[in-house]
Structure 1
Amino acid sequence: MDKQKILAIVGPTGIGKTSLSVWLAKRFNGEIISCDSMQVYKKMDIGTAKVTKEEMEGIHHELIDVQDYDEAYNVKVFQEKCRKAIDDVVKRQKFPILCGGTGLYLKAALYDYEFQEEKEDEAFKSYLDSKSNEELVKMLEEQDRKALEKIHPNNRKRLIRALQICHSGTSKSEQEDKQQHIPLYDVYFLGLDVDRNILHDRINKRVDIMFENGLVKEVEELFSNPQTWEYTSFQGIGYKEFKDYFLGEKNLDEVKTAIKTHSRQYAKRQYTWFKNQMPVHWFEAQDRDEIYDAVKEWLSHADK
């Protein structure tokens, strides 16, 4: 039996994935499933550059505004929701187009990723919380050196997570090695590329527009209470930078500069991730005729 064909549009923040996804959906009877870890949150519209009703141009979108911003969202939840959304789109006899820059979410949904159910050992978690980042790195070096290759030494959350997995009896690397990383669908990964200077300029302008459109008001209404700074939703670029502003340590111009810098750095990481993790077909973002022809040709071939 042929696998379901799925188009996945990937690439860095600010490159024009949303616009292209709508353009292609109109030409191939498609519906769009968002693979963005921030656009799932209700009320978080400006800082996530959430697609507007006007930008949708009548095309149905899934997995946007599906989560309250005070509730945690993670890759396992996304995997379940995304696979169900794919089934729903197919039942409506539409072509599924996945669009977004959160690479791990895409991979988890489209490949044979399995997540282990684990009971948290509270005592061990407290023990890890008492350790410095340097101590956590040293522990992980001893228990799962391979996992460290993918974790930044300052990413405390991921260091603790990897050590918790080791504590459960199987290392993170062993869990990953057991999985074959085979796509569950016939996927065409369509990547958008553009000159870096042009991309950086677009990112900077987009942040300026967010501020003009009321980003400060949006963030103040959602996150001015210090209790909200622990929310998963607040950790996104475009929001977390406001913490220093709320603390009176930075002014709005400094916040804006930080968002631009972090967005450009994130774009670089996205390129690296997609180029290393997926068999992406790269196109210049403006070459829509070439993109259309490539998708049309791929759709005309049955999955081998």
Structure 2
Amino acid sequence: MPVIAVVGPTGTGKSDLAVELALALDGEIVNTDSMQFYRGMDVGTAKLTPDERRGVPHHLLDILDVREEASVSAFQTAAREAIADIRARGRRPILAGGSGLYVRAALDVLEFPGTDPVVRSRLEAEAERDGIGVLARRLAEADPASASKVHDARRVIRALEVLEVTGRPFSAFMPRREYVEPAVQIGLDMERAALHARLERRVHRMVDAGLVDEVRRLDGEGLREGRTASRALGYSQFLRVLDGESTVEQAGDETIVATRQFARRQVTWFRADPRVHWLDALRPDVVGAALGILEA
């Protein structure tokens, strides 16, 4: 039986649908939201509470400290081990989350090149000394296919590192739309105005539920030291509240805008995959419709 993945933009109810499917199909859930890996990042990531999970086992939640950096490669290994373990117990694995590359890492043929800290440090030092433009031009000459697809300093450095370490272009490691085992992706989306209003309400609920206190507590646990966790939606904005550089209202408004922009990028990512079966997240029979897709 295929692996199920519930995907789509933030705020569309992926976690709730995954729980309903797990209850109907004797399944267990594997988290594919990269920010829900972090212990203590609960309010700001809309992580389901134990009661909301309704007894359904959830895997790969709360597996990292906020100081640790999330790794797609490490996640791929852990996710595939979790899927195999769920299957071995005769249950159905169900992926839930909107981190597109992590979903692809779990489902698709995707190879991760090795790293070399010495090479990485040297390239970062060059970028600091000469500017990232010099490295971008070097990449364009050596690997034009990759250069056309990477547009930030971190990925330019990574592409040059891969080329030097493996002798293969970074583009050779980009994911293919080929499942490693049978899978069905169910996408949730809704009309833009409805999604924007929903995201705004959700941010306000997070503030009311204690997001500022959560950020303050995590700041004491090293949130700012984490390269991944510190950039999470809401957390970076509300750290400025703690620093006196922003008000709660301003941080909330900035989080709403950033969340809408993130949702737009998620839609672009998942809509580009023709294998996703899309459903209107607001239809009253969304659970039945999802089960119908799986039966078909």
The TM-score, its normalising length taken from structure 2, stands at: 0.91
| Percent sequence identity over aligned pairs | 35
CA RMSD of aligned residues (A): 2.2
Give the secondary structure class of the aligned counterpart of 1:57.
Answer: coil
- How many Å apart are 1:277 and its aligned residue? 3.5
Given that residues 7 and 96 in structure 2 are in contact (C-alpha distance below 8 angstroms), is that contact kept between their aligned partners in structure 1?
yes
- The equivalent of 2:271 in structure 1 is 275
Q: Which residue is equivalent to 1:82?
A: 79
Residues 254, 135 of structure 1: CA spacing in aligned structure 2 closer, same or farther, 3 A cutoff?
farther
- Name the SS of the counterpart of 2:272 in structure 1: helix
SS at match of 2:34: coil
Q: Does 1:242 align with 2:238?
A: yes
Q: Write the distance in 1 (CA, Å) between the matches of 2:261 and 2:126.
A: 33
51-60 or 162-171: bigger deviation: 162-171
Counterpart position of 2:123: 124
Deviation at 1:112, TM superposition (A): 1.5
Q: Which residue of 1 aligns with 2:247?
A: 251
Query: In 1, Cα distance between the equivalents of 2:127 and 2:49?
Result: 42
Deviations 1:120-164 (A, max 9, x none): 313333223334344443333223232233333xx3222221222
Q: Which residue of 1 aligns with 2:101?
A: 104
User: TM-score, normalization: structure 1?
Assistant: 0.88
Unaligned runs of 5+ in 1: none
Aligned residue pair count? 293
Which residue of the partner structure matches residue 114 of structure 1? 111
1:195-216: CA deviation from partner (whole Å, max 9, x where unpaired): 1001001111110011001101
Residue 23, structure 1, aligned to residue 24, structure 2: no
Question: 1:183 aligns to what?
Answer: 179
- What secondary structure, in the 3-state scheme, does the structure 2 residue paired with 1:97 have? strand
Amino acid in structure 2 at the alignment position of 1:30 = G
Could you tell me which of 149, 172, 175 is aligned with 1:174?
A: 172
Q: 1:76-134 CA deviation, whole Å, 9 max, x = no partner?
A: 11101100110111122111111100010010111121112232313333223334344
Tell whether the 8 Å contact from 1:229 to 1:243 is kept in structure 2 after alignment: no
Residues 294 and 239 of structure 1: is their aligned pair in 2 closer, same or farther, counting only changes over 3 Å? Answer: closer
Contact kept? 1:113, 1:181, Cα under 8 Å: no
Q: Which residue of 1 aligns with 2:65?
A: 68
Q: How does 1:125-204 map to 2 (within 5 A)?
A: 125-152=124-151, 155-168=152-165, 169-176=167-174, 181-204=177-200
CA 1:23 to 1:14, structure 2 compared with 1: closer, same or farther past 3 Å? same
Instruction: Give, in angstroms, the shift of residue 72 of structure 1.
Output: 1.6
Decide whether aligned partners of structure 1 residues 18 and 297 sit closer, same or farther in structure 2, where only a CA change above 3 A counts. closer
8 Å Cα contact 1:42-1:68 kept in structure 2 = yes
Shift of 1:250: 2.1
Q: Which residue of 1 aligns with 2:207?
A: 211
**Distance change (3 Å), C-alpha of 1:67 and 1:278:** farther
CA distance in 1, matches of 2:224, 2:293: 48
Q: In the superposition, relative to structure 1, how do residues 225 and 39 fare at CA in structure 2: closer, same or farther (>3 Å)?
A: closer
Give the whole-Å Cα distance in 2 for the aligned partners of 1:290 and 1:256: 30
Q: 1:257 to 1:133 in 2, by over 3 A?
A: farther
Please say if residues 20 and 287 of structure 2, whose CA atoms lie closer than 8 Å, have aligned partners that are also in contact: no
Separation of aligned partners in 2, 1:294 and 1:226: 40
Relative distance call for 1:294 and 1:219 in structure 2 (3 A) is closer
Given candidates 8, 11, 14, the residue that maps to 1:14 is 11
CA contact (8 A) 2:66 2:226 kept: no
Deviation at 1:5, TM superposition (A): 1.0
Deviation at 1:180, TM superposition (A): 5.0
